[in-house]
Amino acid sequence: MAREPRQSYRERVDFSKIKAVFPMPDLLDIQTQSYRDFLQMELLPEERKDTGLQAALKDVFPISDFKETTELEFLSYSIGNWECKCGRLKGVENSRAKCQACQTLLPADMEISEKEICPFCGAARKIELPLCEHCGDRVGLRIKYTPMECIQKGYTYSIPLKLKVQLVSWEKDAATKAKRLKHIKQQEVYFGDIPLMTDKGTFIFNGIERVVVSQLQRSPGVFFRQAETKGFYIAKIIPYRGAWVEFEHDAKSLIWVRLDRKKKFLATVFLRALGFGTDEEILKLFHRAPRVVIEDGKLFWEVGDGLVGRTAADDVTAEKGRKVLAPAKKKITPEVLAALREAGVARVPLVKKELLGAYSLAGVKGKVRTNEPLEDTQIDLLAARGEPFEVFYPEEDRAGLIISTTLKKDLRKDQPSALGEIYRKLRPGEPHTQESAHNLFQSLFFNPQKYNFSRIGRLKFNIKLGLETSLDDKTLSPQDYVEVLKYLLNLRFGEGSVDDIDHLGNRRVRSVGELVENAFRIGLTRMERTIKEKMTITADLAAAMPQDLINSKPVIAALKEFFGSSQLSQFMDQINSLAEITHKRRLSALGPGGLSRERAGFEVRDIQTSHYGRICPVETPEGPNIGLISSLSCFARVNAYGFVETPYRKVESGRIVDYVRILHPGSSDFKIGDVIKRDEMEKALEKLKEKKTRQLPTVVPHCWYLTAWEEEKYIIAQAN
């Protein structure tokens, strides 16, 4: 009788002089984790995050007909057949361990035995692994063919995708336009087979083993660079999907905007289109505007933020007391303003001469014009009216005369005319109405289906401008554009910094999951059109089922096109095992949405300081692809936002400090995930030794993974 081969592992011998402080990360994680996040097939529908397949389907659905009386809604999806060997116990929920004490389903990626302690409630020996009563087997993913069978027979290694959708119909009242629910039909629809990644991080497509190479691309966000003329700067807002916006200023003190690389126009026109309709509203965004009040024919400054830098005509004292808060003929500082507010002082007497040369913020019809310097007669006229008015001093603010000069040149004075101007720039020669101009602008910047700044873009935007907006806010608000303009104007005074677009803090990796998601989206938009047409053509929609309307062929065709002919889907390099791993960790700047080898210059190909510990400086092909194809370093990893991180160890008082992370606390007082110094850990172990019943904690060495922009906050010591 033949002896069955026993699975054994060879002892790993390390001959290096400098021993590894922490283990090397999973080298294939860039492939496997990315595709796992895209599919989320081991999670229940309510547990899925709004990323990958889930995000793509939610963005396209619901799909309505042109009359808006029928709507096809997406509820959830399931991938693959989850069942035991005999097929009686089914469902992805039965594939996961459950704590009987707190009734919590444990995470799908957590390998747990029955003796383990629940990480949620801490109960021991309460974890149950669901087993089939008939065959005694656990529920797992059942795949028709193994990877080897697919290679031998020329098949694609894939699993079925099913969508749970519902068709909702309404009756519309012709007079009131009110809707009344007619019926809801729910159905699970087979959507086609989706390629599955093997354990080795590859795909088998038509019997051929392929690798999807990760793409290194410019990150969404806001970027500032110096213009060709010294002292002038350009701001570029790049979304994940949608129209680019570019601001620039010139030697004539004018600020311009360019939408989607089209013809430029004045930035104030763009601000008016965003909702800042009047000159007064725009000027208030960039200038401090002290308010002047008139009392018994005398002029006073109203105590407010705009008071800083102004002077008082006489000494200002508190109502009770003789202490001088603001001395006469001296400029008011932020400290003096704070003292005035604390004392409850409402107004400060002003010197009339100080108003000469100040610009009026709001005009008086036929007498005083907005955004014009005040003259002596105009000041007397405003004082005689007795109504409060606001002024501003452009030379004293960071914006200078730029906004004021641009407004003088701007002939559009309200939002509708500004929207019409933008329509003419984007669609020259086409006639338009006020409504069509408004709809075009809204769809360009505020429609989530056409404009997506993404969580990554919002993260970079917040970091650059020092904002705290939620990362889930994926469209830019009018105030966001104002913040970009303020930063651009501040650059002239050395405040802020310009960006290097080739720095790894401004470039991110699009891994396989994201690339497949984009291909899936293309197919879904094609399918959306066919569904809408079917809804219009179908005579009796009341009798139709969701299956009759959905045709998944465009989606499956888009996926086949991506895996079969995309520049980033390549035959796996099979010279040896090392060549395979290297191919899976390769980064390419080429491909759709990337660079072309003809246009790429020296800067993008060159080695950057930010590559240290992230990208191998040596491994790149010779010839036209040099610098455009590179490889991840061994210890480098890609974070959830697609930025490359490298590990560091902390240095405190000139000494390297070792940290450990708690995997299981045992009998100690630590919690799962705590990061503590190794010295503290050893002290805790000494105390545990004194106890009779003790369970030692399980720990792993911990390092600090930093992105290229986080690294700049610290002083980096030599690696040796």
Helices (H), 262-392: 267-273, 279-286, 334-343, 376-385
Domains of the chain: 221-280+409-504 (3.90.1110.10), 292-390 (3.90.105.10), 650-702 (no CATH)
Q: Distance (Å, rounded) from C-alpha 53 to C-alpha 514?
A: 9
Axis crossing angle, helix 29-39 with helix 52-60, rounded to the nearest 10: 40
pLDDT at site 114: 47
Tell me which residue of 134, 127, 68 sits closest to 100, measured CA to CA.
127
Name the residue among 269, 224, 169 with its Cα closest to residue 465.
224
- What local confidence, expressed as pLDDT, does residue 156 receive? 94
pLDDT of residue 5: 46
3-state secondary structure of 221: strand
d(CA 238, CA 219): 8
CA atoms within 13 A on the CB side of 127: 20
> Given this model, what pLDDT does residue 3 score?
44
DSSP string, 646-670: EEE-EEETTEEE-EEEEEE-TTSS-
Residue 119: is the preceding peptide bond cis (ω within 30°)?
no
Determine the Cα–Cα distance for residues 287 and 26; give it in Å rounded to an integer. 54
Distances (CA, A) of 184 to 46, 164, 517, 559: 21, 13, 29, 31
Which pLDDT value is given to residue 486?
92
CA distance 421 to 423: 5
Q: Please, where are the H alpha helices in 232-278?
A: 267-273
Note the pLDDT of residue 4.
43
pLDDT given for residue 572 in this prediction: 93
Q: How high is the mean pLDDT in each 10-residue block of the chain (720 residues)?
A: 51 81 88 94 89 92 84 91 84 78 65 58 67 82 91 94 91 76 88 93 94 94 89 91 91 89 89 88 87 81 78 74 76 81 79 80 74 82 81 82 88 88 88 88 89 92 92 91 92 88 93 95 92 82 84 93 93 92 94 88 90 93 93 93 93 88 80 85 81 76 91 78
Q: What is the pLDDT of residue 707?
A: 93
